[in-house]
Amino acid sequence: MTTTPDDPALDAFIAALPKVELHVHLVGSASVPTVLELARRHPDATEVPRTEEELRRFYTFRDFPHFARVYSAVNRLVREPEDVATLVLGLARDLAPQGARYVELQVTPYAHHIVGMPMREVTEALDVAARRSAAEHGVEIAYIFDIPGEYGEEAAKITLDHALQEPPAALVGFGIGGIEQERVKYRDAFRAAFTAARAAGLHSVPHGGEMSGPETIWEVIEGYGAERIGHGINCLADPRLVAHLRDTRLPLDVCPTSNLRTGQIARIEDHPLPRLLEEGLYVTLNSDDPPMFATTLAEEYRVAAGVFGLGRNELAGLAANGVRASYLPAARKAELLAEIDALL
């Protein structure tokens, strides 16, 4: 697919555009060099390839369940707090040259719990990594704790306990991901977890409508009190839902290349991003699991320009949407919005 704009000046504009990343996962953010480093640390983990060429082939997904299995295999390389910090710092290092200033990073505490990492040690690693990311790379890090939905009530409990008992200083949100079709089995547990998290002051940022239909989006709105929705691309099948999203200005964190790589769309040209914008929906642009999907945050803007024909104003609008939809302090939002305006 062709994603690079024909206009070199537009490509330079994309590179310079101040950006925020609102939908990216800790393990999914691990670049090939970072994964290979973790594999060398843990040589007994034989599921993950040990060479760059083999690892890139390993990241060719047949469908979402296959992606989930590969993701889990990489996740099993994350065994110690040092590994957690390595992932956060690797993401900041990778994002800084792309013009990214701020990240809301989705962390799955349950994955660290099942390999025996204590909550306090995970939190200390996240805190240290956030401070170092800002100091060494100029990238501010915030965290969203994410329930892996297919693991049910236990995962909900562990995620909530960690969020309430040992939260990192930069924890801003509470989410849920994984295979959406599995959630119906644990509906009450997930609703209760989100109610408790929101009562503690955390923002509700669940995935919905990525691999299932509008019913999942309605569930996260009505049952989880969603303030922002991960993906949400299948909202277009329900005109009433589209109208609700438009009227409430509920942001959708859209990740086009992710949807292609996991088989949610057949071709990048089929992605509903243009129609979401035509419908007047509040869209932010994100990378999800960038090395696994052979993309970057900047590349998603190139896709928007090269595939969908968005120009400078539209790209800047997406970047500004991200800033406004973030959980940055108001003064910091104003600074970034001023930078975007100045670049235009």
Q: Which two tokens stand for residue 340?
A: 């975007």
d(CA 230, CA 208): 6
The identity of residue 89, as a single letter, is L
Q: Which two tokens stand for residue 337?
A: 């919005």
User: First and final CA of the chain: distance in angstroms?
Assistant: 28
d(CA 344, CA 339): 9
Q: Where in the sequence numbering do the catalytic residues fall?
A: 210
d(CA 147, CA 224): 12
173 DSSP assignment: E
d(CA 22, CA 2): 25
Q: What Cα–Cα distance (Å) separates residue 3 from each residue in 18, 190, 310, 323?
A: 20, 38, 12, 24
Residue 287 contacts residue 254 (beta carbons within 8 Å): no
* Helices of type H across 114-255: 119-137, 152-165, 187-199, 214-222, 239-248
* Helices of type H across the chain: 8-16, 32-41, 52-58, 64-75, 81-95, 109-113, 119-137, 152-165, 187-199, 214-222, 239-248, 256-261, 273-278, 297-306, 312-325, 330-343
Single out the residue of 261, 269, 263, 273 nearest to residue 315, CA to CA: 273
Buried b / exposed e along 236-247 (16+ C-beta atoms within 10 A): bebeebbeebee
